[in-house]
Amino acid sequence: MPRLLRTSVFRIAAIYLALFGGSSIALLAFVFWSVTEYVKTQTESTISIEITGLAEHYRQNGLVGLRDVLAERSRNQRQSLYLLTDSSFRPIIGNLDQWPLPVEQTSGWFDFDFDRPGSPAGVHHARARHLQLAGGFQLLVGRDVQERTELLVGLRDSLSWAGLLVVVLAVAGGLAMGRNTLRRVDAIARTSQDIIAGDWSRRMPLTGSNDEFDRLAQSLNAMLDQIERLVGGLQSVSDNIAHDLRTPLTRLRTRLEATLMAPSVAPESRHALEQSIADADRLLAMFTALLDIARAESGVLRREMGPVDLAAVCRDVADLYAPTAEERSTPIRSTLPQPLIVHGHRALLAQALANLLDNAIKFSPKGGTITLTLERAGEEASVMVADRGPGIAAGDRDRAVERFTRLEESRGTPGAGLGLSLAKAVADLHRGRLILADNSPGLRAILRIPVGPSVSL
C-alpha cells in the first residue's frame, strides 16, 4: 500500500481527485446556494406583492374592507399567514393567534417559528414582513416555508451524498488505476532484475492489449535482443581468445608429451620435459579457470541450474579431498545435515567448495583441523570452510576475491589467485554471498546460497 501511494499514477489520480472532486463539490454547493436563494427571493416577492396589495386595499376600502379580505384569505390559504392588529398589537383578524415575536424584532423582514396544529412537524418556519398602516394598525403577511426548508434540507443531503460518492469513486479509481499500472511496471522491473542478474532468456511480458506498456515492453525486448546479440558476439570473441590461446598451448603440451614417449630421451631431458608439461598444465588450468569465472559471472549458466542437495555436494567434495588433507595432517571434520536442497548449479557449487577446501589445505599448518559445516541460516544455506592457517587480514579480504590476487602470506604456496574469484562468481550466480571472516586464528570462508528459487525485488 505505501508503495502504491508513491506511484506517479497515484499522484496523478490524487491531483485528478483534488481538481475533479473540488470542482464537483463547488458546483454542487453553487446549485444548493442558488436554489436556496431562488426559493427565498420567490417567497419574499410573493409576500411583497401581497402586502403592497393589502395596503392599497386598506387605503381604498378602509379597515372593514381589509378585514373582509383577510378573513377570506385566511380561510382559503394554507401557506400564507396573515395577522392584523391594533396599535398595541392586539389581534383583530388573521390566521395567527398572536403577534409572533417581540415588536422590536419585527421591523421589515423577519423569520419566526409558530405552532401549526395537526402538522407532523408541529412547529413550522415562516418568513414574514411587517407593515404599519395608517391609523396605527399593524399588518403581518408571511409564508409558511416549512416544506421548502425540508425540501432544501433534502436537497442538501442528496448533494452531500453525491459529493461523497464523487470522492469515493475518485479514490477507488485512483487506487485501481495505480495498482494496475504498478503491476505492469513491477513485471517490467522484475524482469529487468532477472536480466541484470544474468538471466538473458527473460523478456518483458506482453498483455496483447497493444497499449503504451505493451509498446514499451516491445521496445525493451527489441533492445534486449540487440544487446544479447552484441554480448553474444563479445562472449564468443572472448571465448575465442581463450580458445585460441588454449589451442596452441595444448599442441605444445602434446608435442612435449609425444617427445617424452620416445625411448631415446636422455634422463636429464626427461625431467625438463616433465616440468614443461606441468607448467603447460598450470597455464591451461588458469585459462580454464578464467573461462569458468567469466561464464559464472555472465549468468548464462543459470539455465543449467536445478535442485541440488548441498549436503551431498559437501560430502562428495570432502570425500574427494579427504586423502589429500590427511596426507598433509590437516584432517577435514565435516558437520553435514540431512539433505539441504538449494536451487543451484551442482558442478559449479562443487568447484567453488573444492577451491575453498583447496585453499584451507594449502594454508593450514600441520595438525590444524579443517572444519566443513553446512547449515541452514534462515532463508540461506551456509557452507563454511574454516582453517587454522594465517587467515586474511580484514583490510585484504575484499582484494582477496579479485582475480590474480595473491596476498603476501600466500607467496610461498602454489596457485594462480583464481580460486576465491571463482567461489565469489559462483556465489553471485546463485544470488548468494561469499563471506571471508576471522577464525582466530585462521580463515572462515562462508558460502551463502539462498534456499529455494531465488526471488528478485
The cell numbers describing 220, all together, are 525493451
- Least distance to another protein from the beta carbon of 398, Å? 22
Site string for another protein, 228-257 (x = CB under 8 A): -----------x---x--xx-xxx-xx-xx
Q: Which of 258, 268, 366, 457 is in the footprint of another protein by CB under 8 A? A: 258
Q: How many CA atoms lie within 13 A of 415 on its CB side?
A: 25
Stretch that binds another protein, among 141-149, 213-221, 354-362, 447-455 (CB under 8 A): 354-362
Order of strands, edge to edge, in the sheet holding 443-450?
332-335, 370-377, 380-386, 443-450, 433-438
Cβ closer to another protein: 51 or 420? Answer: 420
C-alpha cell at 83: 395577522
Stretch binding another protein (CB under 8 A), from 9-17, 319-327, 398-406, 444-452: 319-327
Cα distances from 35 to residues 153, 155, 386, in angstroms, run: 11, 9, 86
Shortest Cβ distance from residue 261 to another protein (Å)? 8
Is position 329 an interface residue for another protein (rule: CB under 8 A)?
no
- Among 87, 210, 288, 335, indicate the residue that binds another protein (CB under 8 A): 288
Nearest-approach distance from CB 4 to another protein, in angstroms:
41
Among candidate residues 324, 326, 301, the one with its CA nearest the CA of residue 429: 301
Q: Which own/partner pairs from 274-281 qualify as long-range (CB within 8 Å, at least 24 positions apart)?
A: 277/253, 280/249, 280/252, 280/253, 280/256, 281/253
Q: Are strands 332-335 and 306-309 parallel, antiparallel or unpaired?
A: unpaired
Please pick, from the candidates 85, 321, 364, 432, the single residue that binds another protein as defined by CB under 8 A: 321
Answer yes or no whether residue 271 interacts with another protein by CB under 8 A. no
Q: How many CB atoms lie within 10 A of CB 384?
A: 20
In which element (H, E) is residue 70 found?
helix 22-76
Considering only residues 378 through 437, tell me which ones interact with another protein, judged by CB under 8 A. Answer: 415, 419
**Binding-site ranges for another protein (CB under 8 A):** 239, 243, 246-247, 249-251, 253-254, 256-258, 260, 274, 277, 285, 288-289, 291-292, 295, 300-301, 303-304, 316, 319-321, 323-324, 327, 345, 347, 350-351, 354-355, 358, 361-362, 415, 419
